[in-house]
Amino acid sequence: MTHPPVPLGTFPTPVEPAPRLAATLGLGPEDLWVKRDDLTGLGGGGNKVRKLEWTVGAALAEGADTLVTTGAAQSNHARLTAAAGARLGLDVVLVLRGGAGASRSGNLALDGLFGARLAWAGEVDQAGLDAAAAEVCDRLRADGARPALIPFGGSGTLGARGYVRCGEEVRAQVPDVRTAVVALGSGGTMAGLVAALGTGSVLGVDVGALADPAAAVAEFAAPLTAQEVTARELRVRRDQVGAGYAALTGPVTEALRLAARTEGIVLDPTYTGRALAGLRAAVRDGSVRPGEKTVFVHTGGLPGLFGHAQAVAAAEEGAGAY
């Protein structure tokens, strides 16, 4: 049974033209539009709000009084789960990879501001993180709480329903869109867009969060569309991962500067920076072409910039002396 979503965001988000960025990338001045899902409203904004409307809606319908979720230390999903809990009067426990003390900035600062409690799982793989979250839920139940475990990244078929709605917004706002470009992390965002727009109209840029993100997208998208969705038919670029999920690459550094200096738009070093670097590479190799409408889906993540020491240093170095 699918429970109704709980309202958490401000929709539809705007779509803005980006002619100066388009020219820099090698596109025409009317070819590139930015879907501002960084402006979803709750907790600093970002794509996870759309997913949380569905996953938290289900948790509330099942009588939960505590939200538990997992992620990396600078997880945008964890931050917005904390914000959703604060808005709805729910306790939140975030089970994070790594250990306490490595950073106090970026999303972690906001996690604390929203009143979330942190459980550090150590340097574990996804299975270890899931096990740590299950243990936290067991302890909460033993203490009399009613926890709901929100999936990693908010991703799954249920959370992806939020991005079906986003895809419908894109189609209404840019009817002749040829390609929607989006960061591909845990898979739910791209899955919803694929369900709404079709496999050929969505380009996902892998950020290195999963070993096989295309398989996750296909799994989440298939129940949302009458058409078969397979991993091999998806448009996925895997050339922007670099040394790994948390590593800043040269192309991403350049992408952050391009967006900021041409359109005054701030991207983050893990997700949207990689997505723009992937779009730039796609224009260069001809898989995204001038004369066709392209929508760059800005999924947010600004607080993560301030928790990424390399990205902060690179940004500061870009300021010239007067």
How do residues 213-238 score in pLDDT, each as one tens digit?
999 999 999 999 988 899 999 999 99
Q: Do 40 and 60 belong to one domain?
A: no
Q: Do 37 and 177 belong to one domain?
A: yes
Q: Which of 128, 154, 180 is the last residue of a domain?
A: 154
**Could you give the CA distance from residue 38 to residue 189 in angstroms, rounded to a whole number?**
13
Q: Do 145 and 187 belong to one domain?
A: no
Angle at alpha carbon of residue 152, lines to 310 and 63, rounded to 5°: 135
In a domain, 99, yes or no: yes
Q: Do 162 and 266 belong to one domain?
A: yes
pLDDT of residue 205: 98
Q: How many domains does the chain have?
A: 2
Q: Is 75 annotated as catalytic?
A: yes
For the segment 15-24, the average pLDDT, to the nearest whole number, is 98
What pLDDT band is residue 322 in, cutting at 50, 70 and 90?
A: confident
Q: Do 291 and 148 belong to one domain?
A: no
In a domain, 202, yes or no: yes
Q: Which of 101, 121, 154 is the last residue of a domain?
A: 154
For the segment 309-321, the average pLDDT, to the nearest whole number, is 86
End-to-end CA distance of the chain: 62
For the segment 125-137, the average pLDDT, to the nearest whole number, is 96
Q: Do 131 and 174 belong to one domain?
A: no
In a domain, 187, yes or no: yes
Q: Do 36 and 184 belong to one domain?
A: yes
What's 130's domain CATH number? 3.40.50.1100
Query: What tens digit of pLDDT does each residue of 253-297 get?
Result: 999 999 999 999 999 999 999 999 999 999 999 999 999 999 999
Q: Do 232 and 298 belong to one domain?
A: yes
Q: Do 205 and 273 belong to one domain?
A: yes
In a domain, 4, yes or no: no
In a domain, 176, yes or no: yes
For the segment 236-251, the average pLDDT, to the nearest whole number, is 95
Total residues belonging to the chain? 322
Query: What tens digit of pLDDT does each residue of 139-195 get?
Result: 999 999 999 999 999 999 999 999 999 999 999 999 999 999 999 999 999 999 999
In a domain, 80, yes or no: yes
Q: Do 28 and 163 belong to one domain?
A: yes
Residue type at position 263: E
To the nearest whole percent, how much of the chain has pLDDT over 90?
93
Query: What tens digit of pLDDT does each residue of 45-76 get?
Result: 999 999 999 999 999 999 999 999 999 999 99
Structure tokens at 53: 């409307």
Residue 16 bridge partners (DSSP)? 34
Ordered DSSP codes for 200-228:
GGEEEEE-SSSS-HHHHHHHHHGGGSSS-
Q: What does the mean pLDDT of the chain come to?
A: 96
Structure tokens at 95: 């089970």
Catalytically annotated residue among 75, 155, 186, 201: 75
pLDDT of residue 1: 61
Q: Which of 154, 183, 211 is the last residue of a domain?
A: 154
In a domain, 219, yes or no: yes
- Owning domain of residue 248: 15-45+155-317
Q: Do 214 and 313 belong to one domain?
A: yes
In a domain, 8, yes or no: no
pLDDT of residue 147: 98
For the segment 123-137, the average pLDDT, to the nearest whole number, is 96
Residue 227, burial from CB neighbour count under 10 angstroms (0-12, 13-18, 19+): exposed
Q: Do 162 and 252 belong to one domain?
A: yes
In the predicted structure, residue 248 carries a pLDDT above the cut 80: yes
pLDDT of residue 89: 98
Structure tokens at 214: 């295309």
